Chain A
C-alpha cells in the first residue's frame, strides 16, 4: 500500500486553476448530497457543483468549468482552505478531477490530513504571494506551475516563491509513505503494549 517508488511525491508540475477566496469549506467543495454513496467513484463530476451552478446562473464561468483550466493539476487558493466538515469526499473529488497539489495561504487541519492521506500535497505561501500566483494563472492559464517539495518552492514562469509544509507530511509524501496503514500496522506489539497501560481498557 505504500513505500513503493511510484508513490513518492516530490514534485507536481502542470497548469494551475485559481480558486480565489478564504475559508472555502468542504460543503462547498462537495455538497452533502454527494456523500450518499458507498464509494468515492464519480465524485470528480461534482466538485464545487453548487458553486458552479450559481456562477452559471449569474452568467459567469466558474474556474472548474473554464476551458482554460481544464487538465490543471495544481489548485491555487487562499486562507483556511477545506474548513468545516471532515468529509474526505472533498479531497477525493478534487484529486479524482486531476489536482495533485494545492497551493494556499493555509489549510484546515482535517482537510490537510485527508489530502495528505491521498498523496495530494498542500503547501502554504504568504497571502500576497498566493494572490500574485493566482493573478499570473488568471492572466496566462498556460503557465506551468511547479510545486517542488524537496526545494520547498513553487515556481511559475520566471517567478519562484518559498513555500512551507509541516515536516512530517512533507517527509511522508517524499518518502511515499503517505498511505499510513502499512506504517501503523508495522509494530502491532507496540500498539498492544500501549493499550495494556490504559486503565480504561484493562479495567479500573
Chain B
C-alpha cells in the first residue's frame, strides 16, 4: 500500500509529538511580509527570543505597496511606516528582504517560485492564506496567522494536527478559452467553500499533468477558497524544468540529485486516499462568480440562480448575495455591466496570465465606461512582460500598466473600488467589501475573461473573442502564446 506525498513530507518534517497530541512540524521555508509580521517580531522582542533559522526565512513587501509609483517615502504614511518596520525587523534579526530597492520584489507567492525558493518536498509557511500556491511544486504549504508567524520565527516549527488527503482528478482536456482559474472555480462550486476543511487537496489527472507551473500555481492558490488549507500537485518533469537554473535552485550535479529526491517524494502510484473525486475538464467552461463567496459561480453560459430554486437552508444566503450584488435571479450572467477590470494578484498575476489577457486585448479598446488596471505579480513578471511588449498592448487597449504588488485584490493601497462599482477581477475573493469599498462588488474570472469584459463593458464569453471565435479576427503571435513564464 503506497504513501501520499503529504504523508512522506509530514513524516520527514516531524520533530516530535507534543504533549497536546499535536505534531511539531519543522517548517523548511518561512516567507514573511509586512502586514502579518510586525506584531510577531514585537512578541519575539518582548520575550527576548531570536529567529531560530534566519537563513530559512525570506521577506518581501507586497500587500500595502502603491503600484502607481514606488519611490520612497510613500505618500501613504502608514504604508511607509509598515515598510520601514519590516526593514528594521529584517535587519535586526538577519532576515534577507526583497524590498523596494530589489529587482526581485513582488507578491510573496509569485517571487518564492520564480526565485526557486519554493521546491518539492518542502514544508512552507507564510502569514497569508494563499500560501497554498506553493503546493504546485509538491510542497506542503499553508497559511498561518501572526501568532504562528511568531512560532515559526522562534522555533522554525508549528504545532499541527494531521490532515486527510482528498485526491482531485481533473480528467479530459480543457477547451479553448478555459483556464486553470476556471478549473479552480468549477472545483469549488462542486466541492463547496468548506468542502476542503480538514483535507489537503492533491490535484492530478490529465488536465493537471498538462498544465504549466503557472497554471498549477493558480489551481493550488485557490485551494483555500474551497476550505483546504493545503493543495498540492506531485512534482514531475514540468516542475523540474521550471526550477532548472533558478537563483535558489540547486545547480550542476546537485540539480540531478535534487530531481531524484524530489521524484521520490511524490505520492506512490498505489497510494491510498481518504477521499477521491474526479471532475471532467472537457465539459468545463469559462466561470464567473455571481455572489459573495468563491463557491457562488456559474459558467458564462448560465443564468444567475434564484433563491426559490435552492434548498431551504441555502435560500437566504443566495437571496442576500444577490441583493448585495444587485443581480436579478435567473438572468444570464453574461451581459452584466462592469465598471472596473483588474488583472493581477497571486492567483493570476504571472506572465502567462498577462499573455492570455493581452491576446484578447490586442487590437481592441476597453469600453469607455470601464477603468482597467493591469498589475504584474512581481517586478520580474513586469519586466518580462515589457520585454515582450505586453505593456504596450495593455496601454493601447486603455489599461493602466502598473508596478508590482497585491493591489486591488485586497485594496490595502490606493487601488480600490469606489461605491458600488462592479469589478471583473482575476483575483481570488469576491467577499463583501473585499476590494476596498464596503459596498463594492467583485466578479471573479480568468484574466482572459477579465480582458474580454473590459472590452465589452460587460461580462461576456471570452471564447467569442479568441482567434477562431465568432467575434472576428485577433492576431496573436506565437511568442504571445508560447513558452513558460519567467
Contacts and interface: CB of A to CB of B under 8 A. Distances in A.
A190 B16 contact: yes
A31 to B, nearest CB: 6
A12 to B, nearest CB: 19
Interface stretch (A17-25, A68-76, A153-161): A17-25
Contacts of B22: 168, 172
B156 A38 contact: no
B431 A180 contact: no
A117 B127 CA distance: 14
B323 to A, nearest CB: 10
B250 to A, nearest CB: 5
Given A38-B82, A114-B147, A84 B431 contact: yes
Nearest to B294: A84
Interface in B415-466: 429, 431-434, 436, 438-439
B198 A109 contact: yes
Contacts, number: 216
Interface residues of A, number: 66
Given A36-B64, A88-B146, A204-B258, A23 B193 contact: yes
B432 A200 contact: no
Given A36-B78, A50-B432, A86 B438 contact: no
Given A88-B147, A199-B258, A32 B411 contact: yes
Contacts of B24: 183-184, 190-191
A201 interface: yes
Interface residues of B, number: 81
Contact of B129 (A79, A110, A117, A190): A110
Interface of B: 12-16, 18-22, 24, 26, 28, 35-36, 38-39, 42-43, 47, 49, 52-53, 56, 63-64, 78-79, 81-82, 85, 119, 121-122, 127-129, 142-148, 150-151, 154-159, 161, 193-194, 197-198, 224-225, 227, 229, 250, 254-255, 257-258, 261, 293, 313, 317, 410-412, 429, 431-434, 436, 438-439
Interface of A: 1, 21-23, 25, 27-28, 31-33, 35-40, 50-51, 53-54, 79-80, 83-88, 91, 106-110, 113-114, 117-118, 127, 166-169, 171-172, 175, 177, 179-181, 183-185, 187-188, 190-191, 194-195, 197-201, 203-204
